[in-house]
Structure 1
Amino acid sequence: MPSPFENQTKQFNVLINAEDQHSLWPQDYAVPAGWEPVSSGTLAECTAYVDAHWTDMRPRSLKLAQAAANGSRR
């Protein structure tokens, strides 16, 4: 079975989870539990969305913990 990522005209969703992590997901596949669609389009469009919006790869919980640690040092 060929990978859906090999088809440049297939439609995808950009999914995001509670940790602000992003994933590309074929539109004709069920969205897994814990993930929400935030954008859709071709693979190229979805990749561009991820590149523009997921600029900090740290999970949300790590960002919050680091912010709290930095705030407590002041």
Structure 2
Amino acid sequence: MRVIVDTEKCCGAGQCVLVAPKVFDQRDDGIVVLLDAAPASELHAAVREAACVCPGAAIRLDEQA
């Protein structure tokens, strides 16, 4: 899995950080920071959930990577 974030779409809700804190963080202004673009398999379910709950659709997943 490869995680791609579009900081231009991020609205700073922080849902990704709550769901997958080992993969996502936030800057001081609330915009997403990607900590791990290729998370371990045990984190995949949480990353998928984070992408689903992102209100700005700022998280994209490449499941083939």
Flag whether TM exceeds 0.5 (same fold).
Answer: no
TM-score normalised per structure 1: 0.27
Q: Which has the higher contact order (CA 8 A, sep 6+)?
A: 2
TM-score normalized with structure 2 length: 0.29
Task: Give the structure with higher Rg (CA).
Answer: 1
User: 1 or 2, which has the higher helix percentage?
Assistant: 1
